[in-house]
Amino acid sequence: MTPEGMKLGLDAARLLAAANCCEIEPGLTDAEFRRIERDYGFEFGDDHRAFLAAGLPVRQPPEEGATWENPWPDWRHGDPAKLREHLEWPVEGVLGAVQHGYWHPTWGQQPTDADEAHQKATLMLAQVPKLVPVYAHRFLPAGHGSHGHPVMSIWGTDIIYYGADLADYINHEFDDFSAHTPDSWNPRATVAFWQDFLE
């Protein structure tokens, strides 16, 4: 892990602990990280890895009207099928939009046949950078050696910034974000394909 990525992840973990909003189990071990990354086919970014090594958030009191029953991915004891669904959320959301006629201008000519459009989008989405769930539909890009990416909130093709980086996101989601947001808050997407939805 890079020192910068480790510091950012630890800062985010401290902010979450201070927010006292969820149960935090002991952090993931190196062996657990290796198993998770092997089984699910991605690598955590350095800041995300440091965050989960400091403590694994697993549960919080249910909120009325909440979309996610268990918004924190439980990488240690979670149901593998549900974790895979969580990992596929961004791709499935885009494919669902394509089924209803969506086509991003950067994807080239839209096929006139709906099945062909879905097939073309499926092939394209199989090649895009992996996103890893942080909490519910908030995601960070995967990738060892990377850190400081903005956290994205993803609901189909409705994709917005929800934090300039992981620590900023924790502040945004679990604290009074408006009280701490600088006037200069202006995250910039750093990951191919997904950044096209944010421009």
pLDDT digits (tens, 9 = 90+) for 88-116: 999 999 999 999 999 999 899 999 999 99
pLDDT digits (tens, 9 = 90+) for 155-184: 999 998 888 899 999 988 887 655 555 566
Contact between residue 178 and residue 168 where contact means Cβ atoms under 8 Å apart: no
The SS3 of residue 65 is coil
- For residues 81 and 62, give the distance between their C-alpha atoms in angstroms, rounded to a whole number: 22
Phi and psi for 126 in degrees, rounded to 5? -70, -15
Looking at residue 123, the DSSP 8-state letter turns out to be: H
Judge whether 157 and 97 are in contact, CB under 8 Å: yes
- Band (130; pLDDT cuts 50, 70, 90): very high
Residues 139 and 17: their CA atoms lie apart, in Å, by 20
The percentage of residues in the chain with a pLDDT greater than 90, rounded to a whole number, is 66
Distance between CA atoms of residues 192 and 189, nearest Å: 8
pTM: 0.89
State the chain's mean pLDDT as an integer. 89
Q: How far is CA 105 from the centre of its chain?
A: 24
Checking if the pLDDT of 56 tops 70, the result is yes
Q: Give me the pLDDT at residue 43, please.
A: 96
The mean pLDDT value for 116-124 works out to 93
Residue 193: the pLDDT is 85
DSSP code at position 64: T
